Chains A and B, each alone.
Chain A
Amino acid sequence: MAETQPRIVIDAIDVHYGAVQALFGVSLTVGAREVVAVLGGNASGKSTTIKSVLGLVRPTKGTITLDGAPVNGQRPDAIIARGVASVPEGRRVFPEMSVYENLLLGAYPRRREARELAGDLERVYDAFPRLKERRAQLAGTMSGGEQQMLALARAWLRKPTLVCIDEPSMGLSPRFVDQVYEVLQSWKAQGITILLVEQNARMALELADRAYVLQHGRVAVSGTARDLASDPQVRKAYLGAA
């Protein structure tokens, strides 16, 4: 798929939370301009995978490289500085700051580019008229779906070449889920590389080029999105059908 150097290479990582092992030798690659989905039920280890890439948890074994250079042991801010943006699980907007300030903070690594920033902000407002309307409102008072849009827009203002997205459809109504995926589809069209963690397999597989399905901290199935969409294994990994 990726003829050039892959953006992310995860090579056989183990992750422990204290006494609990969350990942067992998970390997995964994300090529340039590729959209890769990590799927799985709750507590399957998919969020842990993305947290390892962002430096939020440290693998006890194995390596992770970003654009050919290792990220092991780097702090999240150093990884973000390498052109990465994150849309965290549960959105994590700053509840007591306005929508406008939340957006600005997304561009924190670009804070010296004042001029371009103003233009980019306008573009975000054009794409998300709802956020423009509410730019003075505190983010914590918005609905879950609006917060998710804010988190996406905030990440876009980073002008990333690679975005890590953790469960963007969690707790959202179908209408908002559709909106989220419309945004992601447009990012894909812009050539942004995406590593997406998602429980909503059907939506994710429509968007992704390739996917990995995790179960109990191991990669259970992987392949192209097209193949996986019709693979009964996927459904089994989720619903544990008898």
Chain B
Amino acid sequence: MELFLSQILNGLAIGQVYALIALGFSLVFGVANIINFAQGALFMLGAFIAYSAIAWFGLPLIPAAIVSVVIVAILGLLLERIALRPLMGAPYIAPFLSTLAISTIIDQSAEIIWSPESQPFPASISSTTFFIGNAYITVTDLVIFGFGAAATIALTLFVSYTWTGRALRATAQDPAAAAQLGIRTDVMRQIAFGLAGALGALSGILVALYFQSVFPQMGIPFGLKGFAAALLGGLARIPGAVVGGLLLGIGETLASAYVGDSYRDAIAFSLLLLMLLVRPNGLLGGGKLNALGGSGAAAGAMPTTSLLASASSQLSATRAYYLPAWGFLVVGAAFALVPLLVSSTYVLQALIYGFIFALLAVSVSLVSGAAGILSIGHAAFFGVGAYAVAVLARPYGLSADVTLLAAVVLTALVALIAAIPLLKLSGHTAALGTLAIGQIGFLVFLNWVSVTRGPMGILNIPHPVLEVLGGLRFATTGQKYWLVLGLVVIAVVIAERYVSSPIGRTWRAIREDRLAAQASGLPVRRYILLAFAISGALAGLAGGLFAYVQQVVSPESFTVETSILILTMAVLGGLGNLSGAVLTGFALAILPEFLRGFEEWRMIIYGLLLLVALRVRPQGLLGAR
């Protein structure tokens, strides 16, 4: 009981921090109607700028915190200015991907500036412990809770009782009406981003104090938890975000106390998925007042649920270029000749990775492009395939026919189940759901030691043997090249057949207008689940092949970075265009081979490519289909 109470007190402190991150999401979502993926990056920067101000410039904690909050608030403004404002009128997908690209660039830059390692935070608050009865609480907890609560109250007072605050809320509730009262909605947007930056920085500093360490990868998990808290509370509501944050904090602290600390995050993200499943509008979020649309008839843009569309013009002028299914056989046959001409294992190895990532990009393009649900979690499916092969081939010594088939079927099943919480969602919210799936996958690979062997990974995976081909063994790089190429070509041909069939047409119809599709009699859920199952099967095959090629499977191959990379490939190729996905997946996978010595710049380059592409060619290289 004492432990229970102590955990609750402890959870309130960290929950207050989540509430602050959540408020950043809520403000921006309310006013600008987008989910700012970079909120986590701003949070991380807040912690690191305070860290540097203390460690490098010798500032005391409070001035360092103030400097950090001011700088990050300005960065928030800049983010709106640079990454979002130019995208007004761009496809709906663009602002979200833009913040995603910025987040990738910031995270990677932080690794370069501050090193990827975790650093001790150079300031602390007394660790004196108080007892309330038998429950205990530390001064650090109290201070964090106090600061968090004070910031929340200040923000609440600001939005409740100042002109600017009221105008912010009015803009969030009805921007068109707000503009007709003389409110500058564009300025409100900027203020929301600035405030979100300040809140992000403050919460970053509090987390640094709480855990006494800072690390560049802290942005995404905490950002996702802040989002979970915001969603728990109904996304656009301030009291909701606070309640959501506190509940999440208490929930995960209790979970880590009773289930195990390594499951702390996995439980938080599972909670998020559960929420999405049962109450997508949040615990407190009722439906917004459904205004009666009396006028709508002749007004405005074409209704669509497609993330590829935009308010002004859709993809109207762009054409998609793509190969028919048999075209991939021709291309595959041409590539089959390469080992006859090139003997360098280094080159062949690079091409093999190119094929695997081409398949992964196809897998994402199918679900994100054709079916229209943005996936930032595909590394989990990739990983399930890889671990399935690793476990079956290594301890059980099964042949590649069995292991690869198992990888495909198991991953399809996992993807199908993972898609269930996403069914009621669309747009950016669904994307964050997939991010949670990706994170859960990674945490399971890392922590389910009895099966995955944890951070060590599974080593010495044997060479693949195909029993169907009379026990043919693929031992050399050249032999594996043919195996991978052959299976990837078959998989891509099947995927292309799907996308070109009436099923693919139905996916696109659901992407374009889910409501109209359903009102036309289409069982929408069934088709979305089918898309995930097929996408999962493709990713599972890619994972299985990856396991055989690497001969080692460990969690670091399946991080959110990998998911973002695969999504970037699919977007750059043209969403829904499998030929484009193959091309960019292949090209971007072998690109690092030309960047030897600049490995740490890789993600920055991808991020920049994505940013530039969103500005100049949002429909992708070969055109979205």
Chains A, B in direct contact (C-beta < 8 Å): yes
Whether A43 is near chain B, meaning CB under 8 Å from some CB there, is yes
Q: Which of B166, B169, B185, B294 contacts A170 (CB 8 A)?
A: B294
Q: Is B174 an interface residue (CB 8 A)?
A: yes
Q: Which of A5-13, A91-99, A119-127, A177-185 contacts B (4 or more CB under 8 A)?
A: A91-99
Contacts of A158 in B (CB 8 A): 181-182
Q: Are A154 and B181 in contact (CB under 8 A)?
A: yes
Selected from B173, B181, B293, B300, the residue in CB contact (under 8 A) with A106 is B181
Q: Please, how many angstroms separate the alpha-carbon atoms of A92 and B295 in the complex?
A: 13
In the complex, the number of residue pairs spanning A and B with C-beta atoms less than 8 Å apart equals 97
Residue in B163, B174, B184, B298 whose beta carbon sits within 8 Å of that of A43 in the complex:
B298
Chain A, Cβ-Cβ closest to B237: A96
Binary CB contact string for chain A from 109 to 126 against chain B (1 if under 8 A, 0 otherwise) = 101000000000000000
| A54-B180, A80-B180, A154-B181 as given contacts; A92 in contact with B174, CB under 8 Å | yes
Majority DSSP secondary structure for residues of A touching B: loop
Check A104 against B182 for contact (C-beta < 8 Å): no
Are A171 and B294 within 8 A (Cβ)? yes
Nearest-neighbour CB distance to chain A for B310, whole angstroms, equals 12
Residues of B within 8 A of A62 (CB): none
Would you call B167 and A42 a contact (CB within 8 A)?
Answer: no
A92 to B175, CA, bound (A): 10
Beyond A18-B301, A47-B295, is A80–B169 a contact (Cβ under 8 Å)? Answer: no
Please tell me if B472 contacts chain A, counting CB pairs below 8 Å: no
Interface with A: B284-292, B337-345, B381-389, B408-416, which one? Answer: B284-292
Chain B residues whose CB sits within 8 angstroms of the CB of A97 once the complex forms: 166, 169-170, 173
| Inter-chain contacts of A209 with B (CB < 8 A) | none
Alpha-carbon gap, A81 to B180, bound state (A) = 10
Contact B297 A86 (CB under 8 A): no
B167: nearest residue on chain A (CB-CB)? A108
Q: Which residues of chain B are within 8 angstroms of A171 by Cβ–Cβ distance?
A: 292, 294
Task: Choose among A75, A76, A89, A105 the residue that contacts B295 (Cβ–Cβ < 8 A).
Answer: A89
Collect the chain B residues with CB atoms within 8 Å of residue A80's CB.
Answer: 179-182
Q: Does A40 contact B (CB under 8 A)?
A: no
B169 partner residues in chain A, CB cutoff 8 A: 94, 96-97
Q: Which single member of B170, B180, B182, B184 contacts A88 (CB below 8 Å)?
A: B180
Instruction: Write out the residue numbers on chain B whose beta carbons fall within 8 Å of the beta carbon of A17.
Output: 298-301
**Residue contact B182 to A81, C-beta cutoff 8 Å:** yes
Any B CB within 8 A of the CB of A77: yes
**What 7 pairs across the A-B complex have the smallest Cβ distances?**
A80-B182, A92-B177, A95-B289, A76-B179, A86-B180, A109-B182, A140-B289
How many A residues face the partner with a CB closer than 8 A?
38
A43 touches B297 (CB 8 A): yes
- Residues of the B chain whose Cβ atoms lie less than 8 Å from the Cβ of A167: 294
B181: chain A residues at CB < 8 Å are 80, 86, 105-106, 108-109, 154, 158
- Given the known A-B contacts A92-B174, A104-B166, A108-B167, are A77 and B182 also in contact in the complex, defined by CB atoms under 8 Å? yes
Task: Indicate if B176 sits at the interface (CB-CB under 8 A).
Answer: yes
Most chain B CB neighbours (cut-off 10 Å) among A89, A94, A111, A140: A94
Question: Given the complex, which residues of B lie within 8 Å of A76, measured CB to CB?
Answer: 179-180, 182
Cβ–Cβ < 8 Å partners of A86 in chain B? 180-181
Interchain CB contact (< 8 A) of A77 among B173, B179, B291: B179
Chain B residues with CB under 8 Å of A170's CB are 294
Q: Does A90 contact B (CB under 8 A)?
A: yes
Q: Is B465 an interface residue (CB 8 A)?
A: no
- How far is the CB of A167 from the nearest CB of chain B, in Å? 8
Q: Mark A154-183, 1 if CB is under 8 A from B, else 0.
A: 100010000000010011000000000000
Q: Say yes or no: is B456 at the interface (Cβ < 8 Å to chain A).
A: no
A101 within 8 A of B: yes
How far is A171 from B292 in the complex, measured between Cα atoms in Å?
Answer: 10
Is A229 at the interface (CB under 8 A from chain B)? no
Interface code B441-481, partner A: CB below 8 Å = 1, 0 otherwise? 00000000000000000000000000000000000000000
- Rounded to whole angstroms, the CA-CA distance of A181 and B452 in the bound complex is 75
Is A20 on the interface with B (CB-CB < 8 A)? yes
B298 surroundings in chain A (CB, below 8 A): 17, 20, 22, 43
Interface residue from B167, B176, B183, B289 paired with A56 (Cβ < 8 Å): B176
Closest chain-A Cβ to B168's Cβ sits at a distance in Å of 11
Q: Which residues of the partner chain A approach B297 to less than 8 Å between Cβ atoms?
A: 42-43
